[in-house]
Chain A
Amino acid sequence: MADNNKMMQANEAYETLCLALDSRGWTYTKDEEGLEVKAEVIGNDIDITLRIKVDPERLLVSLFSDLSYTVPEDSRVEVAVALAMINYATVDGNFDYNFSTGRIIFRLTSRFRESLVGTELFNYMIGVSCSTIDAYNDKLFMIGKGRYTLEELKAFIDE
């Protein structure tokens, strides 16, 4: 359970997060008690859902994006290899993968413990997440359907 000092830091971070979203002119839903926001972003191929949560216990802000499909069972090994290739080439954030269910979630985390964080930090998190998810969500979908190969993915990553 977060103490008063941690709660204060978390509330400040949440306020700054909302300011960042407002400055983008974004429409989003707020869960002030849960210190969470949700937003939908139009992607190049597949729309992106963002959930950004401020964790008052760990003093973290985490951005999650559930990809809107699950990987069919017969493609799960290939998608695991694809995600390893993508994550190895990614500097910030990573795609988490539940091998049992085929669910893929992009996760990017930053911290504000005893620190001053500005709106540009949240703008960065949102920008890099949307860009990374948008680059790969369609390719992962097509790998799952057997319509895109790991060699094609490697060529795209190496570009």
Chain B
Amino acid sequence: MATDKEMKNALEVFATLKETLDARNWTYDAEEDELRIHLGVNGDDIPMRFIFICDAERQLLRILSFLPFEFDSEKRVLAAISTAMVNYDLVEGSFDTSIENGNILYRINTSFRDSIISVDLIDHMIDIACFTVDKYNEGFYELNSGKIGIEEFMMKYL
């Protein structure tokens, strides 16, 4: 449970987040009580959806993007290996994959504990998230659909 101070910090970050998105003229759905925002972005190949969470208890600004497909059950080991290969090359954020249900998502966080974060910082996170998801989502999709194998996936990205 967040303290009053932690809640106040989170509310300030939520306000800065909305300011950042408004400056981009982006349309979004805000859940004010949950300090969450949902929005969609057109990608090069696959549309992307993002969830922004101002986590008051953890003092984290979290950006999550679930890819719009699940890895088939017989492809989940391949999902684990391919996400590991991609993550080893990433500087910011990472792809997670669920062995149980085949979900794959990108996450990038920044802590705002004892800090005041800027519109510029959030802008940067959004740019990184959009770029990274857009870069890799098609490859993961093609790997799952069998259009490419792991060697072609590696050649495409690594």
Residues of A within 8 A of B (CB): 58-60, 62, 77, 80-81, 83-85, 87-88, 90-92, 94, 96-99, 107, 109-121, 124-125
Interface string of B94-131 (1 = CB under 8 A from A): 10111100010000011111111111110011000000
A138, B153: Cα distance in complex, Å: 31
A97 touching B121 in the complex, CB below 8 Å, given contacts A60-B92, A92-B109, A124-B59: no
A114 touching B121 in the complex, CB below 8 Å, given contacts A84-B79, A92-B58, A120-B114: yes
Tell whether B84 is near chain A: CB-to-CB under 8 Å. yes
Interface contact tally, CB-CB below 8 A: 111
Q: Is the CB of B77 within 8 A of A96?
A: no
Residues of B within 8 A of A (CB): 58-60, 62, 76-77, 79-81, 83-85, 87-88, 90-94, 96-99, 103, 109-121, 124-125
A109 touching B115 in the complex, CB below 8 Å, given contacts A80-B77, A84-B80: no
A60, B120: Cα distance in complex, Å: 13
Q: Is the CB of A87 within 8 A of B114?
A: no
Scoring B80, B87, B90, B98 by chain A CB atoms within 10 A of each residue's CB, the highest score goes to B80
CB closest residue in chain B, given A150: B99
